[in-house]
């Protein structure tokens, strides 16, 4: 496809299936991890701790704001630990698609955008 980046191709394939709010588009490129509650009997305590830490770290990396989150009943401080800006990467992939005439976005109000494939 027209020398598109891997991110743009991946986003376009998802948009061909259905239009996406920006938040959902971010999750196409940076999948949100599963969350498992402390009381879930299907996982060991160590698995729950690891799953919960991964989930909250993704959230902090998305928003870039230090946060205290519950991990297996204990408060844990999370700080952004990557240099990647999920929103910017997704925006740039969408911009590629727009520039190539393959997609467009619409403001659905209050600066909330929906991405569409053409």
Tell me the pTM. Answer: 0.87
> In which domain, by residue range, is 104 found?
6-117
Phi, psi of 69 (to 5 degrees): -130, 155
32 lies in some domain: yes
Mean pLDDT, all residues of the chain? 95
Model confidence at 59, in pLDDT bands (50, 70, 90)? very high
1 lies in some domain: no
- With a pLDDT cut of 70, the percent of the chain lying above it is 98
Looking at the structure of the chain, the number of domains it has is: 1
Spatial neighbors of 52 by CB under 8 A, at least 6 apart, are: 35, 36, 38, 69, 70, 71, 72
CA distance 77 to 70: 9
Task: Give residue-wise pLDDT tens across range 5-47.
Answer: 999 999 999 999 999 999 999 999 999 999 999 899 999 999 9
pLDDT at 1 (0 to 100): 56
């Amino acid at each position: 496809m027209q020398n598109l980046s891997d991110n743009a191709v991946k986003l376009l394939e998802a948009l061909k299936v259905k239009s996406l709010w920006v938040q959902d588009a971010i999750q196409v490129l940076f999948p949100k991890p599963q969350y498992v509650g402390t009381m879930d009997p299907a996982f060991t305590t160590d698995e729950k701790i690891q799953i919960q830490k991964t989930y909250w770290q993704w959230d902090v990396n998305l928003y870039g704001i230090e946060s205290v989150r519950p991990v297996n009943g204990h408060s844990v401080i999370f700080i952004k630990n990557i240099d990647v800006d999920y929103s910017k990467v997704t925006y740039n992939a969408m911009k590629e698609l727009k520039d190539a005439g393959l997609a467009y976005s619409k403001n659905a109000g209050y600066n909330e955008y929906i991405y569409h494939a053409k």
